[in-house]
Chain A
Amino acid sequence: MPTNWLPESINIIGKQVDSLFVLIFGISLVAFILVEFLLIFFLIKYKRTKQNQEGLAVHGNTKLEIIWTLVPALILVGLGIYSTQMTYDIQKASAADAYEIEVIGRKWSWEFKYPNGASTINKFMVPEGKDVVLKVTSVDVIHSLWIPDARLKQDAVPGRETVIPLGKLQGGKEYPVICAEYCGTAHTKMLATMTVGKEDEFNKFLADAKKASEEGPQAGEKLAMQSCLSCHSIDGSKSAGPSWKGLYGSEKKLTNGQMVKVDDEYIKESITNPGAKVPEGYSPMPPVAKFDEKQLKSITEYIKTLK
């Protein structure tokens, strides 16, 4: 049966899933029409009238009942065998030489890590025409990575690695990547996009991503997620430490009554020597991981982007 009335899928598994969908849809449609037709037909035809005051005293028909038990059972067995075959295909679909991308879910963003050490947040690219496998995990609660256009999803479970065999991909658009497992306040906004890149395009993307992962605001964001954002919010909301939103360039009153302007120097000092200048209303920050100069700069760059 044709599947072209469904939105186009961008990989082979997606096309298989669509064909199974259409098969079950066909079977259901026949069953649906049969049941609803008989229902409506009987209700109208045997409506109570003056002539039709009593129903026929039939208690059952063993032969008929055996038939309508066996027929659906056989259809379902067939369906079960076909779906089982496809399930094994999906399980086997991750080829040995597949290109692996690690995916980490956290409240509320997706991080994608590439074999060359580069990593990106909420945006990723896969090489066109190569077997691609996603290895998914989570650092906090259960999330679920869903790519509707590939008809694939797996939960991101803390302490467990799940596998999404994307297979070979084709397509020239940005595809939504969605969190499908409820994970709290911003579950709705936990979205990413996937693009499929031609070889040179993909290589350029990887190089850029690697550079951005090492320095600059993106690297800073990642470091912040690992070390800072459990106590500092980035949306202005109250937390254990001052919010980073609009922090850079603002004036802060310290516990000793002095005023200080938040600049590169102050941020660096606050991270490396947390007890020195504590803003009023907060207790000194507990010691965090040691950062090198480049990392401190990246974090500052990131704070600068949070206007």
Chain B
Amino acid sequence: MATAAVAGTVRPKSFWRDWVLTVDHKKIGIMYAVTGLFFLIFGGLAALAIRTQLAMPGAEVLKPDSFNQFFTMHGTIMIFLFVIPMLAGAFANYLVPIMVGAQDMAFPRMNALSYWLYLLGGIGLMISPLLGAMPDVGWTAYPPYSIESKGIGLDLWVTGVHILGLSSILGAINTIVTIFNMRAPGMTLNRMPLFVWAMLVTSFIQLFGVPALAGAVTTLLFDRHLGTVFYSVAAGGDPMLYQHLFWFYSHPAVYVMVIPAMGIVSEIIPVFSRKPIFGYHAIAYSSVTIGLLGFLVWAHHMFVAGMQVEAGIPFMVTSLIIAVPTAIKIFNWLSTLWKGSIQFTTPLLFSAFGFIFLFAIGGLSGLFLAAVPIDIHLHDTYFVVGHFHYVVFGGTMMAIIAGLFYWYPKATGRMYNEKLGIWTFWIYFFGTNLTFFPMFLAGYLGMQRRVYDYIHTPEMFLWNKLATAGSFIIGFATILVFYNILVSLWKGAKAEANPWGAQTLEWTVSSPPPEHNFHEIPVVTAYPYNFGVSGKDHKRFSDDDAVRV
């Protein structure tokens, strides 16, 4: 991706000045994307190693300790180094300024700093395998186990998470200020693209949530090395404090991974249905609702952690209620498809058939876990693993790939291979279901999480073999995505400014866009989804308030 953005335009600058010292939000976005995809390779390989072991229990593909290290690295890389930086870093950086009609982020140098901090934190996390001291505590790092866990791996982990958190906070401030202060004339809040709405909510979540995580991991580090006793029972500390702090951030973090993905889907579906998005305001405000409610559900991760059982009830209620704004979005997307003129492109398939179909399964399986009595049975089992992989892989990952293909022509000036893209989608769809659906069954029947064997339940063998087969299919599909992205850089047809006929501002400029986005700041006169029969006679962004039937 990186080289092609340069290929289309003549730039006399050296690589050093052009990329390393750049403060251009588009280049920083691309750097985030390339780095994130690079980390995805390691997160994915760790997943395949875990699944291989689980298909052959007893064979010791991985030693027990290695297995524990691999699932820790898998979770940490995927969440902190791939999904969040991809959405809140790559997509937000590339799209937010240009979508609101600004020439750059509000603080371009701070934006560059966010990226370099991300890279630094990433290196901090990834260096432990090279030192032979990978952390083995799971991505949640619960004390007291994480305090006892020996080796520098966990200290690097804490430091890495800290630096990544700083990067996130700076990025969030930048995004919020950009959205509030840098919009082009006429771009009212209610004319903002839905992706921008999503990033506004996400940035607020990061801003308010990350400090709690920082507090949790800092106290952990102090307990490990400075003799403090935050989490030491013998000296009056309480290990549950960590869980409260950790989940106060890490549950909302799930929405950091999902709301931008929903934003991407909301951009793609109207364009390929040639229809205005159905219920623009409902979609925008439901993101806000999810963002607010997201901070009120954290203890549903702790129903069996030692709280009184009925203390979970308020959290059960909020966890159930949060399904409502999510359901609203799904109904809105379905209504947008209704009576549309749907073009089966790769981004559309990944959004509609990928995100909506699979996320529905992920969301509905969440209802079981929200209910205290069932969660008492299912907590820390493979049912949970299945649930969040349907949400984060079936949902978010599908949206990320949809977005990668959708904005690929804009960022690189080249078209990707559509036929290969569609094949890739169907392979993903099959592989995802084959991998994650059996986990629901294994979980209910008695298979706990984070185990390299399941000796007590030999009947799990079939479900695990299917899941492992599925994971290799997913791996293969991911190789196809990389292949498509790389080969199309050279072989792809030249992209025009607006290959999809979309109406958001980034499509009004050349592909790739010029350095400062707009030669003249655009004046916005309507909201960006005026597709359809009645919209035919209107020019793009012509004056037209929402038509309601």
A80 at the interface (CB under 8 A from B): yes
For residue A28, which residues in chain B have a CB less than 8 angstroms away from its CB? 364-365, 367-368
B71 nearest CB neighbor, chain A only: A182
Q: Is the CB of B450 within 8 A of A187?
A: yes
- A178/B338 contact (C-beta < 8 A), A59-B546, A68-B328, A154-B304 known: no
- Which chain A residue has the least Cβ–Cβ distance from B361? A32
Given contacts A55-B341, A59-B546, contact A24 B374 (CB under 8 A): yes
- Select the stretch in B186-194, B319-327, B479-487, B504-512 that faces chain A: B319-327
Contact pattern, A 143-187, Cβ under 8 Å of B = 1, otherwise 0: 010101101111101111010000000000000101111111111
A53 proximal to B (CB < 8 A) = yes
Say yes or no: is B372 at the interface (Cβ < 8 Å to chain A). yes
Enumerate chain A residues within 8 angstroms of B372, measured Cβ to Cβ. Answer: 83-84, 86-87, 90
Chain B's nearest CB lies how many Å from the CB of A25? 8
Q: Tell me if A54 and B341 are in contact (CB < 8 A).
A: yes
A191 close to B377 (CB less than 8 A): no
Residue B111 is within 8 A (CB to CB) of chain A in the complex? no
Cβ contacts under 8 Å, A13 to chain B: 373
B45 to chain A, nearest CB (A): 21
A54 to chain B, nearest CB (A): 5
Q: How far is the CA of A143 from the CA of B283 in the complex (A)?
A: 42
Query: Which of A48, A62, A142 interacts with B145 by CB under 8 Å?
Result: A142
| A47, CB-defined interface residue at 8 Å | yes
| Separation of A253 and B95 alpha carbons in the complex (Å) | 72
Q: Smallest Cβ distance from A252 to chain B, in angstroms?
A: 28
Which A residue sits closest to B328, measured CB to CB? Answer: A69
Q: Does the CB pair B356–A39 fall under 8 Å? A: yes
Measured CA separation A186–B373 after assembly (Å): 28
Give the contacting residue for B273; candidates A55, A159, A179, A186; CB below 8 A.
A55
> Which stretch from B22-30, B83-91, B233-241 is at the chain A interface?
B233-241
Does A292 sit at the interface, judged by CB under 8 A?
Answer: no
For B317, what are the chain A residues with a Cβ–Cβ distance below 8 Å? 80, 84
A36 to B352, CA, bound (A): 10
Question: Contacts A39-B356, A58-B549, A178-B456: A53 and B341 contacting too (C-beta < 8 A)?
Answer: yes
Residues 117-160 of A, flagged 1 when their CB comes within 8 A of B and 0 if not, give 00000000000000000000000111010101101111101111
A31 to B361, CA, bound (A): 10
Which A residues are in CB contact (< 8 Å) with B452? 188
**CA A68 – CA B456 in complex, angstroms?**
45
Name which residue of chain B comes closest to A60, CB basis.
Answer: B279
Whether B148 pairs with A141 at a CB distance below 8 angstroms is yes
Report B29-68 residues with CB < 8 Å from chain A CB.
64-65, 68
Please report which residues of chain B, range 353-371, place their CB below 8 angstroms from some CB of chain A when the two chains form the complex. 353, 356-357, 360-361, 364-365, 367-368, 371
Q: Are B367 and A24 in contact (CB under 8 A)?
A: yes
Cβ B374 vs Cβ A57 within 8 A: no
Across the interface, name the chain B residue whose C-beta is closest to A52. Answer: B341
Q: Is the CB of B144 within 8 A of A35?
A: no
Residues of A within 8 A of B275 (CB): 55-58
Q: Which B residues are CB-close (under 8 A) to A53?
A: 274, 341
Q: How far is the CA of A21 from the CA of B444 in the complex (A)?
A: 10
CB of A111 to closest CB in B, whole Å: 18
Cα distance, A205 to B61, chains bound together (Å): 40
B536 touches A88 (CB 8 A): no
In the assembled complex, how far is the CB of residue A81 from the closest CB belonging to chain B, in whole angstroms? 9
**Is B273 touching A39 in the complex (CB atoms < 8 A)?**
no
> What mask results when residues 304 to 345 of chain B are scored 1 for a CB within 8 Å of chain A, else 0?
111011101100110011011001101110110111111110
Residue in B closest to A176 when the chains form the complex, CB atoms? B456
Q: Cβ of A153 and Cβ of B367 under 8 Å apart?
A: no
* Cα-based distance from A50 to B224 in the complex (angstroms): 68
**How many positions in chain B have a CB within 8 Å of any CB in the partner chain?**
98
Q: Is A212 an interface residue when CB atoms closer than 8 A count as contact? A: no
Instruction: Pick from B276, B282, B313, B451: contact of A57, CB below 8 A.
Output: B276
Looking across the interface, which residue of chain A has its beta carbon closest to that of B302?
A: A155
B535 within 8 A of A: yes
Q: Number of A interface residues at 8 Å Cβ cutoff, please give it.
A: 81
Residues B99-158 near A (CB distance < 8 A): 136-138, 142, 144-145, 148-149
The stretch that binds A, out of B12-20, B171-179, B252-260, B526-534, is B526-534
* B473-494 contact mask (Cβ, 8 Å, vs A): 1 or 0: 0000000000000000000000
Q: Which parts of A277-305 form the interface with B (CB within 8 Å)? A: none
A58 and B276 contact, CB distance less than 8 A:
yes
Residue of A47, A162, A181, A186 most packed against chain B (CB within 10 A): A181
- Shortest beta-carbon distance from A98 to chain B in Å: 16
| Given A54-B532, A54-B533: A47 touches B344 (CB 8 Å cut-off) | yes
Q: Closest Cβ of chain A: how far from B351's Cβ, in Å?
A: 11
CB distance B340 to A55 under 8 Å?
A: yes
Give the docked Cα–Cα distance between A62 and B279 (Å).
8
The yes or no answer to B7 lying at the interface (CB within 8 A) is: no
Question: Which of A21, A76, A151, A160 has most B Cβ within 10 Å?
Answer: A76
A-chain residues with CB within 8 Å of residue B368 when the two chains form the complex: 21, 24-25, 28
**In the complex, what residue of chain B is closest to A86 when comparing beta carbons?**
B373
Q: Most B CB atoms within 10 A — which of A21, A180, A184, A185?
A: A180
- Min C-beta distance of A143 to chain B, whole Å: 10
Distance in angstroms from B145 CB to nearest chain A CB is 4
CA–CA, A91 and B456, complex, Å: 29
Does B21 interact with chain A (Cβ within 8 Å)?
no
Contact B282 A46 (CB under 8 A): no
Q: Are A17 and B445 in contact (CB under 8 A)?
A: no
Cβ contact within 8 Å between A68 and B327? yes
**A36 to B239 alpha-carbon distance, docked (Å):** 43
7 contacts between A and B (CB under 8 A): A54-B536, A83-B372, A91-B310, A148-B377, A162-B306, A178-B446, A179-B448
B interface with A by C-beta (< 8 Å) = 64-65, 68, 136-138, 142, 144-145, 148-149, 233-234, 238-240, 273-282, 304-306, 308-310, 312-313, 316-317, 320-321, 323-324, 327-328, 330-332, 334-335, 337-344, 352-353, 356-357, 360-361, 364-365, 367-368, 371-374, 376-377, 379-381, 444-446, 448-457, 530-536, 546-549
- Residues of A at the B interface (CB closer than 8 Å) are 6-7, 13, 16-17, 20-21, 24-25, 27-28, 31-32, 35-36, 38-39, 42-43, 46-49, 52-62, 64-65, 68-69, 72-73, 76, 79-80, 83-84, 86-88, 90-91, 140-142, 144, 146, 148-149, 151-155, 157-160, 162, 176, 178-189, 191
Other 19 A-B pairs with CB < 8 A, given A42-B338, A159-B234: A13-B373, A32-B360, A36-B357, A39-B352, A46-B339, A46-B342, A47-B342, A49-B341, A54-B531, A59-B547, A61-B549, A90-B376, A140-B144, A148-B377, A148-B445, A155-B306, A160-B233, A180-B448, A184-B149
